[in-house]
Chains A and B, each alone.
Chain A
Amino acid sequence: MGEVRSQHDAPEGVWLGRLVIAGIVVLVLLPVLPLALYSFAGRWLYPDILPSDWSLRAWEYIARERSGVLEATLTSLGIAGLVTAICVVLGVPAGRGLASLTPGPRAALELLFFAPVIVPALAVALGLHIVFIRAGLADTVIGVVIAHLLPTLPYMVLVMTSTFTNSDNELEYQARTLGAGPVRAFLIVGLPTAVPGVLTGALFVFLISWSQYALTLLIGGGRVLTLPLLLFAFASAGDLAVTAALGLVFLAPAVVILTLTARFLTGRSVALAGVAGK
């Protein structure tokens, strides 16, 4: 292999590679830059590249209680937290069950869990809205939480299925032969080995709910105000400084969660991470 490697290091390949990698770093960070600039911008006339004076107006505004940002942040956190808890409780056993099924029924169920991952929110949300109005769930936080289960729960189940499929069941069998019942063997032996998978799944589920816009807008009917709804309102009203400051607050959990899970994002989970970013 050594010879091949030295051939790969031929100048044209190396330079092109370095160029592309520099391009990646610049292009990825490029859209994040305007958020930082605009959030501190005071007067900023065209065609100045930097604002002529800097200001904390946007940050002071979103820190004020009257702006509703704190309340929206708490609402977003509450909804995403509740959604995550429900997904863990329902998704972990479902993933374990799916992983132990034979290929036939497993494929059918996996299709059920795969479909909502791809189907756009708008295609389901209008019908759900009618149902939720009849059930008295429209315009309520609980209604929004239930609606958020549609993009999140299937994701959790798929992550858990992949975790349990790849994990070694030997230890759990040993626990069974030593007399533990199936549920006990799972709780004491199976579950602890799956903790990294559960954590990754839970963090991404939190993020999917946190980022959700269409379902919150329709089911919440504008009464349940989460961060993305506020962000949209400021962006379409044209207040770019406040939009930028809010945007930075809104993307902070995404950066934290990527940092926490980056090393788990390999192989199959990549697909699921991408799906989280629908």
Chain B
Amino acid sequence: MSSRRVTGALLAVAPAALVVALLLAGGVTVTLLQALMPTAGQSGMLTLQHFQAVLVAPGFLASFGLTVFVSLVSTVLTLILAVLTALSLRRMRRLRGFVTYIYQLPLTLPHMVLAAAGLMLLSQSGLLSRLVSALGIIQSPAGFPELVYDRAGLGIVLVYVWKQVPFVGLFALAVLQSVGEDYEAAARSLGARPLQAVRHVLIPLVMPGLLPSAIIVFAFVFGAFEVPLLLGARYPSMLSVLAYRLYTDVDLALRPQAMALSFIIALIVFALVGLYRLVIAVAGRRSWAR
């Protein structure tokens, strides 16, 4: 490739790259600087006191624990349902277009609508509770499990699983197609029953291919904001919500702590991006070696 063509290509990328880099690096850098700024009246250039204050604050560990719990449970449930649904969808011929369309619907629906629908469906006086009551299983709203405003974030988990199953599921479908039918056919000809072939041959083949999308799903839930803001308990709140509450608190002295926390969230997610690139690179090398 001639150097003129490379220059042309770089010039074409430059405006977009500049805008994104400025917004991303600018946002993160200013966040860090604000977090390192000493409180007015104190000496010294930069300080780690706000990071320290956030990390030892009683709410932090609870928020961190909740965030990891919700992200982990959502990711595992999403993976299981995605593989299960992809396995069922892969051989569909009749109605395939319609079912795939319905399946993809959650991908495009805004989180805020889902959170609102979650409120109507999952609350103790919600639609599900009414259905269960009609079946005679519970007698009053209090008999229905707390799924919204609950301390374990179960409503948040359900909304995210609902939203992200098709994302991983469509990946799983693509991986299943690339794996092909040979391995399964071999297992079948060696005497495996259909479900045995799926369990012992297909699923182990598909799972590694889903690792990157699992990391993405984990990162998405880790940074969740509006869903926990609407469906979460007042305490503990997920990390993004905690950062927002610190930032908008009437006590302005908490703002640097909000900045520190928001920088910590960014660091964790950047680490996840790094992990994602690593996983892709390793997978690429492996398939190349094969």
Contact = CB atoms under 8 A, between A and B. Distances in A.
Interface of A: 1, 4, 7-8, 10, 12-13, 16-18, 20-21, 24-25, 27-35, 37-38, 46-49, 90-91, 93-94, 96-98, 100-102, 105, 109, 111-116, 118-128, 130-131, 146-147, 149-150, 153-154, 157, 182, 207, 210-211, 213-214, 218, 228, 231-232, 235-236, 240, 243-244, 247, 250-251, 254-255, 257-259, 262, 265, 267, 270-271, 273-278
Contacts of B277: 111
Main secondary structure of the interface of B (DSSP, over half): helix
Best-buried of B19, B27, B100, B126 by chain A (most CB within 10 Å): B27
A245 B277 CA distance: 42
Main secondary structure of the interface of A (DSSP, over half): helix
A94 B112 CA distance: 31
Contacts of B263: 123
A123 B37 CA distance: 18
B13 A10 contact: no
B70 interface: no
Contacts, number: 329
A242 B129 CA distance: 21
Given A4-B185, A127-B262, A35 B23 contact: no
Interface of B: 1, 5-6, 8-13, 15-17, 19-21, 23-24, 26-32, 34, 84-85, 87-89, 91-92, 99-121, 125-127, 129-131, 133-134, 141, 162-164, 166-168, 170-171, 174, 181, 184-185, 188, 193-195, 198, 213, 216, 219-220, 222-226, 229-230, 240, 243-244, 247, 258-259, 262-263, 265-266, 269-270, 272-273, 276-277
7 contacts: A13-B194, A31-B121, A37-B127, A116-B20, A120-B219, A235-B230, A250-B113
B113 A231 contact: yes
B9 A98 contact: yes
A232 B228 CA distance: 12
